[in-house]
Chain A
């Protein structure tokens, strides 16, 4: 009994450790101007304002950076998911020469240390006249997420019994009809989970965004935020508000998967 309460205390302390930066980010963002930078000990905010969010939102570059990040990330992930699905179906549903090597290629490709390909990527984008264009980032993020998407989706397609498709085809569906009406709906949760992780990867990416884009109006959010000291000076409240706004989309997507994840874990537990 004593052991259990000791464990619970440790669990709560750890929860505080993991939660504190989020707490500190939000409360700093909510503090009125003069009371962020202060020598007073202010672990709990006494007055609350949203003016920091207005400051961050109206800072030059924030909105365009947010827009750029959304456009680049969503385009790349959508492309990776579509191309990934077709590859996954081919790998999982067909027997053909070279299948094994292709599957291994996917496994190896997703472990490629992309950061080490910075120089050739930079040179290649320059040759293609894509340097300074958001298209270059779309291509890089597409390439980074594609092997992972194809590999993970292959696992999900493997989990769907092929007999279901065959039954649909016996009932008169074409191959495309069987895929569209049977496999695709069952693939839903897998698609959501895969695209969320791809989204997070691209949403976070910093190195290529910094190297391939130099002009300010094409910056993505990570690069914009990294230069916040030029934008905010020592206005930590504003910087924290910008960080909150940057976190929200990622957190929303994470919560979507979290539900699936918990469902998966409990399903496994019941089956026992």
Chain B
């Protein structure tokens, strides 16, 4: 009996996507064992592989990105194995470059737009799912699952085909509907237009996770709260404000935070569509870092861009991150 119950309570966490801390974090079961040296060493032995891996493969690169950002490191220095310290030169180079500011601003605007659109639409769809007839809800869930499961590169390729200038189904449909100016219309002739298509692609693929998570949150709200609101004669909007909103606010903030982390550093979709073009107009910070570091082999300058990238992301998410760490620390 207990066994069955355990799997059941464990199962909802299955929908938790990468990086979402499980909603069901039961208090850890602490147990002091009296025993030999082996027993006392056992937890450390169990942790050792993970700790070593994290220090080596995450900790070291984090330190290294800061160190590299203070070095002059181009292909020449790399091949010769020279270590040339330049102090803040790389940062001066980056910050003096007007392009960096344009790209940073563009990245922030893009992130805010994409996160806002996907979280907003995800919430609306989650609310909608509650009132749907069961078979319509299942149809919508299956459709969203298809979007969610498609690998990023596959969906990017499909979108390229749908938005194709000459034979894309979108332009053909628009012409059928009477918008003749869309015959052979290029959706990738400007940065704004390119980023809009990329944004649509990202939002389309991000909504399913958001809608599923928020729907799970909505389903978990006790029914009697709504009954009480109904008895009190609350309108639909009042019920939302007084019952639904307080119950899902923390979940909503969590998924907004995660979406920000994910959407800020998007690279694949932007790169595959236009490699940051036309003429650099759809370049974001992740693309800039790649162009500077890998394409031009200016590793020092690129490391400075990486550090600034983390700084900007840190500034955007700082408030929430602090609160998250505090609550999690309390739970452990």
A21 to chain B, nearest CB (A): 5
Contact check, B6 vs A265: say whether CB atoms are below 8 A apart. no
Q: Which of A8, A159, A265 contacts B133 (CB 8 A)?
A: A8
A143 to chain B, nearest CB (A): 4
Which residues in B have their C-beta under 8 angstroms from that of A190?
Answer: 10, 13-14
1/0 contact string of B19-34 vs chain A (CB within 8 Å): 1011011111111110
Q: Which of A28, A87, A145, A250 contacts B151 (CB 8 A)?
A: A250
**Stretch from B109-117, B162-170, B191-199, B237-245 contacting the other chain:** B162-170
Q: Check A57 for interface membership: any CB of B closer than 8 A.
A: no
Q: Which of A37, A117, A151, A162 contacts B61 (CB 8 A)?
A: A117
B299 to chain A, nearest CB (A): 5
A-B pairs with beta carbons under 8 A, tally: 374
Q: Which of A36, A38, A121, A221 contacts B153 (CB 8 A)?
A: A221
In the docked arrangement, what's the CA distance between A96 and B31, Å?
Answer: 9
Q: Check B37 for interface membership: any CB of A closer than 8 A.
A: no
Q: Check B91 for interface membership: any CB of A closer than 8 A.
A: no
Q: Check B18 for interface membership: any CB of A closer than 8 A.
A: yes
Q: Check B276 for interface membership: any CB of A closer than 8 A.
A: no
1/0 contact string of A113-150 vs chain B (CB within 8 Å): 11111111111101000000000000110110111101
In the docked arrangement, what's the CA distance between A106 and B208, Å?
Answer: 26
Which residues in A have their C-beta under 8 angstroms from that of B216?
Answer: 265
Q: Check B108 for interface membership: any CB of A closer than 8 A.
A: no
Size of A's binding interface in residues, CB under 8 A = 125
Q: Check B187 for interface membership: any CB of A closer than 8 A.
A: no
1/0 contact string of B240-269 vs chain A (CB within 8 Å): 000000000000000000000100110110
Q: Known A100-B332, A204-B151; judge A87-B49 contact (CB<8 A).
A: yes
In the docked arrangement, what's the CA distance between A189 and B22, Å?
Answer: 14
Binding site for A on B (CB under 8 A): 2-3, 6-19, 21-22, 24-33, 40, 42-44, 46-47, 49-51, 53-54, 57-58, 60-62, 64-65, 68, 78, 125, 128-129, 131-133, 136-137, 139-140, 142-159, 161-162, 164, 166-167, 169, 172-173, 176, 204, 207-208, 212, 216, 219-220, 223, 261, 264-265, 267-268, 271-272, 286, 289-290, 293-294, 299, 302-303, 306-307, 309-310, 313, 321, 324-325, 328-329, 332
Binding site for B on A (CB under 8 A): 3-4, 7-8, 10-12, 14-19, 21-22, 24-25, 28, 36-39, 41, 43, 83-84, 86-87, 89-96, 99-100, 102-124, 126, 139-140, 142-143, 145-148, 150-152, 154-156, 158-162, 164, 186, 188-190, 192-193, 197-198, 200-201, 203-204, 206-207, 211, 221-222, 225-226, 228, 236, 239-240, 242-244, 246-247, 250-251, 254-255, 257-258, 260-261, 263-265, 267-269, 272
